[in-house]
């Protein structure tokens, strides 16, 4: 079993949902002595400090990471290269650097440019909500969720030790840890996360474009399925823009397969092939049950919604 590890000072670059949740989880479990928030928005830092997410804040990356033995990059993946360049000179020797992005190939490429004195271990906690900002964070976000690590190709002992520390960090906040290569991660997440978001954004856009249905009717008559799609579509547009641009090859591969499956469903409906439809729906229901059985979703009526939300 991986043992939790403690850090003296944590610098969190980007105090949004994931960054603030990790700060709350580490504080609750006594995994750090000090948490510094780094953000270009002074208002975000002030709010984060006021609610106790961070101990102090800095708009200067250089000042914010000085003295930190753990640096967390909770930024859109599109700026990862620029952040790594800044860290090359600013981070202390031996600092463990992790990110929390849902694309790992582009992150690994940016991390490879760092000097060997720094230890970047790409990470992806597979957890989140559609909310954003420091107020959205909560300490239990990572409990019983998976965190995927995609270490760089390095054989030196200090880096191997850094990977173990990264594993200990995520185990310490309640996550289950798995290690895989970046390319496999990006393909897997294209299936389980990126494509569903793309479908949600597209469906909500299509509903808004149907001229014969008034905007008020779309809102008024939204059934449970459409509401779930709008929840996903409420996610941070900048973050998801960068995800699709950074993982375009894997997303296009999975999107092609989805298009083929969609054509099969279209044909089944056109030719009234009830057997094909029933088989497809049964497969979806079986997968849903498997996700619930694996503890990755609650088994509650109406997807756990409170009656007031119905």
Q: What is the pLDDT of residues 231-285, one digit of tens each?
A: 777 777 888 898 889 999 999 999 998 899 889 889 989 999 988 888 887 876 7
What number is the average pLDDT over the span 141-152?
94
Distances in Å between the Cα of 92 and the Cα atoms of 97, 116, 275 are 10, 12, 62
Least confident of 8-12, 111-115, 147-151, 239-243: 239-243
The three-state secondary structure class of 148 is strand
The DSSP bridge pattern shows strands 70-73 and 96-99 to be: parallel
Q: Alpha helices of 73-222 — where are they, by DSSP H?
A: 80-90, 105-111, 157-172, 182-189, 195-209, 215-220
What is the C-alpha separation between 121 and 99, in angstroms, rounded?
Answer: 7
Residue 96 has pLDDT above 90, yes or no: yes
Q: Which residues of 134-163 are buried (b: 16+ CB within 10 A; e: fewer)?
A: bebbebebbeebbbbbbbbebeeeebeebb
Question: What integer pLDDT is reported at residue 306 of this predicted model?
Answer: 45
Question: What integer pLDDT is reported at residue 307 of this predicted model?
Answer: 36
Distances in Å between the Cα of 53 and the Cα atoms of 8, 23, 124, 226 are 16, 6, 21, 34
Question: What integer pLDDT is reported at residue 38 of this predicted model?
Answer: 95
Q: Which residues of 22-46 are buried (b: 16+ CB within 10 A; e: fewer)?
A: bbbbbbeeebbeebbbbbeeeebbe
Quick: pLDDT tens for 52-90.
999 999 999 999 999 999 999 999 888 999 999 999 999
The DSSP bridge pattern shows strands 7-13 and 32-38 to be: parallel
Residue 18 has pLDDT above 80, yes or no: yes
Question: What integer pLDDT is reported at residue 195 of this predicted model?
Answer: 87
What H or E segment, with its residue span, contains residue 190? none
What's the farthest any 2 CA atoms get from each other in the chain? Answer: 67
48: tokens are: 């984060």
Q: Which residue in 185, 113, 117 sits closest to 146, CA to CA?
A: 185
Q: Which residue in 174, 136, 127 sits closest to 20, CA to CA?
A: 136
DSSP 180: -
Question: What integer pLDDT is reported at residue 235 of this predicted model?
Answer: 76
Quick: pLDDT tens for 21-58.
999 999 999 999 999 999 989 999 999 999 999 999 99
Quick: pLDDT tens for 152-200.
999 899 999 999 999 999 999 999 999 999 999 999 989 888 888 888 8
Residue 289 has pLDDT above 80, yes or no: no
Q: Where do the domains of the chain lie, and which CATH numbers do they carry?
A: 7-180 (3.40.50.720), 184-271 (1.10.3660.10)
pTM attached to this predicted model: 0.82
């Amino acid at each position: 079993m991986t043992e939790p590890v403690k850090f003296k000072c944590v610098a969190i670059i980007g105090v949004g949902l994931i960054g603030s949740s990790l700060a709350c989880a580490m504080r609750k479990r006594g995994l750090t002595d000090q948490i510094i928030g780094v953000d270009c928005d002074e208002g975000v830092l002030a709010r984060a400090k006021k609610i106790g997410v961070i101990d102090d804040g800095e708009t200067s990356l250089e000042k914010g990471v000085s003295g930190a033995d753990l640096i967390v990059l909770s930024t859109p993946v599109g700026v990862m290269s620029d952040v790594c360049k800044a860290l090359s000179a600013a981070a202390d020797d031996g600092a463990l650097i992790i990110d929390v992005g849902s694309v790992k190939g582009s992150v690994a490429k940016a991390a490879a440019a760092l000097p060997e004195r720094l230890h970047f271990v790409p990470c992806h906690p597979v957890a989140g909500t559609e909310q954003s900002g420091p107020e959205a964070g909560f300490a239990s976000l990572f409990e019983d969720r998976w965190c995927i690590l995609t270490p760089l190709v390095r054989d030196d002992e200090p880096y191997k030790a850094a990977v173990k520390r990264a594993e200990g960090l995520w185990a310490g906040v309640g996550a289950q840890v798995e290690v895989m290569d970046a390319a496999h991660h990006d393909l897997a997440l294209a299936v389980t996360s990126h494509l569903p978001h793309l479908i949600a954004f597209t469906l909500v856009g299509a509903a808004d474009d149907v001229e014969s249905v008034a905007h008020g009717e779309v809102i008024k008559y939204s059934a449970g399925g459409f509401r779930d799609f709008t929840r996903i579509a409420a996610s941070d547009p900048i973050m998801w823009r960068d995800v699709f641009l950074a993982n375009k090859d894997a997303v296009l591969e999975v999107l092609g397969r989805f298009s083929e499956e969609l054509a099969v469903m279209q044909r089944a409906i056109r030719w009234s092939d009830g057997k094909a439809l029933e088989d497809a729906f049964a497969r979806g229901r079986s997968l849903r049950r498997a996700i619930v059985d694996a503890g990755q979703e609650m088994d509650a009526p109406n997807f756990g919604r409170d009656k007031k939300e119905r």
